[in-house]
Amino acid sequence: MLIDPFNFFVIPLALTLIFLFVAALIYDVIIFRRRRRRGNPVVYRCDSCRHIYSVPHRTPLARCPKCGNQNEPVRE
Ligand SMILES: [Zn+2]
């Protein structure tokens, strides 16, 4: 049986692309679930005492646990 040279290259290429697509899909699902479970903590840095702290949910201002100063989030 003679293998068509077109299939000789296309079938492994298609299998590789399908494998990569499925791997990316699994990775996305795992990362999405992990992020949703942990929440998305937001980092704040206090302007007066330089204390760095995080808050589980994004708010425009968060109170510093050390000195009570209100601060804006550091990263988006
Ligand atoms: Zn502070």
Rounded to 5 degrees, φ, ψ at 75 are -115, 155
| Domain edges within the chain | 1-38, 40-76
Give the distance (Å) from ligand 1 centre to CA of residue 58. 18
CA–centroid distance, residue 28 to ligand 1 (Å) = 37
CA 52-56-62 angle, to 5 degrees, is 55
Backbone angles phi, psi at 8, to 5 degrees: -60, -35
Question: What does the pLDDT look like over 9-49, one tens digit per residue?
Answer: 899 999 999 999 999 999 999 988 887 776 678 899 999 99
CA–centroid distance, residue 53 to ligand 1 (Å): 9
Question: How close is the Cα of 71 to the center of ligand 1, in Å?
Answer: 8
Using CA atoms, how far apart are residues 32 and 28, in angstroms rounded to an integer? 6
Read off the pTM.
0.48
